[in-house]
């Protein structure tokens, strides 16, 4: 049975690096490359980070009901084709989706047992530093774009309560290990026991990252974005 894993994060949180490392170390985990109408950035290649298509092409996919989820962000469309899920099921693999908070809600409505993981930066200040470094690397340093992404990040972070797991990407190697543990723990849990010693370690790590168990650790991060971990929001 195919398990769908959803990973979301504000831009600049290091999600792409974590996803790439996860894909190197976990077998039978297929990655769904999203479609987008935005132009490529930096060294991005068609079919690798995204499938870059025109707006009319994207709207054709919408009209054909060919998308599992879609969203419009900063005036550009993003979406996941249903064919990736169908293909993973045929091959007996799990499917990894790298999508935003809008897409997560849509997928969860269609696939209730999908596993959702939200990745957070350790602080707003660190996120701003990462955004600046990435913008410089891409040769697209723009104060307006950076500030807009920080505002968007705060809005996205407010949706953390919709996710099953929370992972704070502070130390990269540790975060890679924790993300891998969450994915493999879900596999082990769904297959049932008895569990090996290694599987038990994964299950313990995953339990620590369950959203409810992460609330105390989240408070200072949310406060750095002028948010609150108490029910009701800001």
Write down the pLDDT at residue 49: 87
The total number of structural domains in the chain stands at: 1
% of the chain exceeding 90 in pLDDT: 83
Write down the pLDDT at residue 143: 84
pLDDT band at 234 (very low <50, low <70, confident <90, very high): very low
% of the chain exceeding 70 in pLDDT: 95
- Whole-number Å distance between alpha carbons of 1 and 90: 10
Residue 187 counted as domain residue:
yes
Residue 172 counted as domain residue:
yes
Q: Which pair of structure tokens corresponds to residue 60? A: 């054709």
Mean pLDDT for 75-100 is 96
- Tell me the pairing of strands 67-73 and 76-81: antiparallel
CA distances to 6, 109, 113, 162 from 208, in Å: 18, 25, 20, 17
- Tell me the pairing of strands 29-32 and 94-98: parallel
pLDDT digits (tens, 9 = 90+) for 210-222: 999 999 999 999 9
pTM, two decimal places: 0.92
pLDDT digits (tens, 9 = 90+) for 148-170: 889 999 999 999 999 999 999 99
Mean pLDDT for 109-127 is 96
State the residue range of the domain holding 142.
4-31+102-224
- Whole-number Å distance between alpha carbons of 49 and 39: 12
Residue 230 counted as domain residue:
no
pLDDT digits (tens, 9 = 90+) for 45-74: 999 889 999 999 999 999 999 999 999 988
- Whole-number Å distance between alpha carbons of 84 and 91: 11
The dihedral through the CA atoms of 170, 176, 181, 184 has a sign that is: positive
Is residue 102 a contact partner of residue 158, using CB atoms and an 8 Å limit? no
Residue 216 counted as domain residue:
yes
pLDDT of 133 strictly over 60: yes
Residue 62 counted as domain residue:
no
Residue 73 counted as domain residue:
no
CA distances to 25, 129, 156, 217 from 151, in Å: 34, 15, 9, 22
Q: Which CATH number do you get for residue 145?
A: 3.40.50.300
Residue 198 counted as domain residue:
yes
Q: How high does pLDDT run on average in the chain? A: 92
The contacts found for 36-39 with CB under 8 angstroms, 24 or more apart, are 36/76, 36/77, 36/78, 36/79, 37/76, 37/77, 38/74, 38/76, 38/78
- Whole-number Å distance between alpha carbons of 148 and 208: 32
Residue 200 counted as domain residue:
yes
- pLDDT: is 170 or 230 the higher one? 170
Write down the pLDDT at residue 233: 36
């Amino acid at each position: 049975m195919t398990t769908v894993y959803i990973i979301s994060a504000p831009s600049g949180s290091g999600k792409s690096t974590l996803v790439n490392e996860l894909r190197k170390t976990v077998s039978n985990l297929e990655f769904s490359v999203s479609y987008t109408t935005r132009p490529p950035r930096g060294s991005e290649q068609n079919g690798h980070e995204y499938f870059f298509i025109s707006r009319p092409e994207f709207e054709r996919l919408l009209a054909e009901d060919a998308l599992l989820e879609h969203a419009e962000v900063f005036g550009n469309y993003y979406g996941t084709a249903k064919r990736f899920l169908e293909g993973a099921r045929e091959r007996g693999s799990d499917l990894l989706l790298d999508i935003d908070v809008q897409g997560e809600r849509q997928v969860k409505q269609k696939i209730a047992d999908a596993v959702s993981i939200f990745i957070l930066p350790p602080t707003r200040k660190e996120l701003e530093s990462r955004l600046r470094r990435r913008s410089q690397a891409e040769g697209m340093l723009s104060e307006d774009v950076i500030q807009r992404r920080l505002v968007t990040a705060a809005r996205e972070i407010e949706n953390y309560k919709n996710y099953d797991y929370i992972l704070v990407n502070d130390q990269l190697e540790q975060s890679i290990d924790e993300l891998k543990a969450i994915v493999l723990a879900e596999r082990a849990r769904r297959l049932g026991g008895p569990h090996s010693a290694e599987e038990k370690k994964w299950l313990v790590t995953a339990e620590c990252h369950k959203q409810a168990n992460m609330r105390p650790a989240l408070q200072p991060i949310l406060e750095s974005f002028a948010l609150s971990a108490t029910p009701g929001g800001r």
